[in-house]
Amino acid sequence: MSLDRPLGVRHVVAVALGLPLGAGVFALPHGVENLGGPATPVAYVVGTLAVCSVAVAYAVYLSSPLAECDGLVYAAVSRTWGSRRLGFLAAWPAVGAYVAVLAALVAALGRSLAGVVPLSPTVSTFVVLAVLVAIHALGPDVAGRAQLYVVGPLVALLVVMALAALLAVAPDNFSPLFPTPTLREQPLAALGAATAATLFGFVGFDAGAAVSTVTRDPRRTVPRALLLAVVLAGAVAVAAAFVTLGVIPWPRLVFAAAPFADAAASGLGVETTLLLGPGMLLATLGAALATVWLPTRAIRGFAEVIPGADRDTRPGLPDPALALTGLLAGAVVALDAVGQALYLSLAGIFVGYGTVAASVAVLPVLRPTLYRRCRLRLPAPALATVALVGVATAAVVLWQVFALDPATSLGFTRWDPALAVVDEAVLVRDPLSTVLPALLLWELVGVAVLAVAADYRADRGVERPPLSAAYEGRE
């Protein structure tokens, strides 16, 4: 095993599954079933295929020499469009977004820890954050194994739950498939609305892309692992929705706090809390471990814009990017601003998804040399078609993010239970007065960072290689 590249396929899959299999998986299909009725599993199938189009865009770039670069969004956008500034501004929102998600997750874990140790929730949160940073500081091999040890048992638990609930499925629960007048009169519209809601559940799959530089043979390993993780996350959601609707009649789902867990408990003949206790702990911990990778590696990828951002340290000592990630998340917690920070989360993440999809659509035309070096090289028309589906997928989510209040849109994610640490009044706000200003303000901070970094490079005489150096001459 290479000490520099200790991760393999199973580690990448585990990291990519961290957020899509967050604690909200036990509440599937909460929120979506109201839109799709008993046909909700179909919406999850379509949603999985839609997100696969975004994953394919990532996989194409990951099959190129850019897999050797940290921060795929920055690398892909800057190289495709020939602009480091554009690449930075496309990738910058996701840094703030995932820092906000990390703060919410560690706050949830801190609250749980405070229930068993004599510490306040705030102190417990900082303890959890310090432990997560320490695990990652020990090296990618330690962080990768920790992710595997958490996600592996979680997946096993979810499989057992699905199989147990399957034995209790009542086929009559799916008849009629569209039980209300609204569903019967506009079935496609209902399924479309339900499908749009399912897309939020895949947030964070790109954590698998974030580990490419520490993965063995990344151009072959990471694209496959990323696509496999999206399909697995979709399969879990489809299975959970199917067995839940099969066990609990659709009209009664609204009364279930954790529908999938309730259905599985019914099949196993146990109390729901027996599944939720360890299950939600594993899921939240797995999500937090995976989230750390995302802002950390994105910041490292900014090294040619911000000199020193990719500096390494000895094992056990956080590098500058990891330290900054921990400090930013800690600041959000200390300022009691988790809810406000989450305004940026979904918008920032899907801006990145959309720009990567848009970039790969024009890759064969704008950068034919880079396109030819992609091992996953779809024919240009097919690639453009898949990419446009990815752009549309991101656009649909962004439209909802700017149309629904943050509480509703965040409620569709799989890390929804972490929102319990946030005052609901903070999230039940007009998105045009919360989400949009947060995104614009964070981009303005990014512009300021670019300006300061440019002055620093000019003062120090830092020269940057051509953009094409990242892929020309590499095999």
* Average pLDDT per 10 consecutive residues for the chain, totaling 475 residues: 73 96 90 89 96 97 95 96 96 97 96 91 95 96 96 96 94 89 88 94 96 95 97 96 94 88 93 92 96 97 93 90 97 95 96 98 96 95 97 97 94 86 90 94 97 92 85 65
**Backbone phi, then psi, for 316, in 5-degree steps?**
100, -15
Distance, C-alpha 290 to centroid of its chain: 9
Question: What pLDDT is stored for residue 474 in this prediction?
Answer: 55
Question: What pLDDT is stored for residue 86 in this prediction?
Answer: 96
Helix axes of 84-114 and 345-366: crossing angle, nearest 10 degrees: 150
**Backbone phi, then psi, for 215, in 5-degree steps?**
-115, 140
How far from 90 is each of 350, 352, 392, 397, 440, CA to CA, in Å?
10, 6, 17, 17, 12
Three-state SS annotation for the chain: CCCCCCECHHHHHHHHHCCCCCHHHHHCCCCCHHHHHHHHHHHHHHHHHHHHHHHHHHHHHHCCHHHHCCCHHHHHHHHHHCCHHHHHHHHHHHHHHHHHHHHHHHHHHHHHHHCCCCCCHHHHHHHHHHHHHHHHHCCHHHHHHHHHHHHHHHHHHHHHHHHHHHCCCCHHHHCCCCCCHHHHHCHHHHHHHHHHHHHHHHCCCCHHHHCHHHECCHHHHHHHHHHHHHHHHHHHHHHHHHHHHHHCCHHHHHHCCCHHHHHHHHHHCCCHHHHHHHHHHHHHHHHHHHHHHHHHHHHHHHHHCCCCCCCCCCCCCCCHHHHHHHHHHHHHHHCCCHHHHHHHHHHHHHHHHHHHHHHHHHHHHHCHHHHHCCCCCCCHHHHHHHHHHHHHHHHHHHHHHHHCCHHHHHCCCCCHHHHHHCCHHHHCCCHHHCHHHHHHHHHHHHHHHHHHHHHHHHHHCCCCCCHHHHCCCCC
- Rounded CA separation 265/284 (Å): 20
How far from 170 is each of 208, 246, 416, CA to CA, in Å?
37, 5, 29
Number of CB atoms found within 10 A of residue 248's CB: 22
Three-state SS annotation for 23-34: HHHHHCCCCCHH
Question: What pLDDT is stored for residue 120 in this prediction?
Answer: 92
Question: What pLDDT is stored for residue 4 in this prediction?
Answer: 67
Question: What pLDDT is stored for residue 3 in this prediction?
Answer: 47
- Rounded CA separation 30/377 (Å): 38
Question: What pLDDT is stored for residue 226 in this prediction?
Answer: 97
Contact 315, 406 (CB under 8 A): no
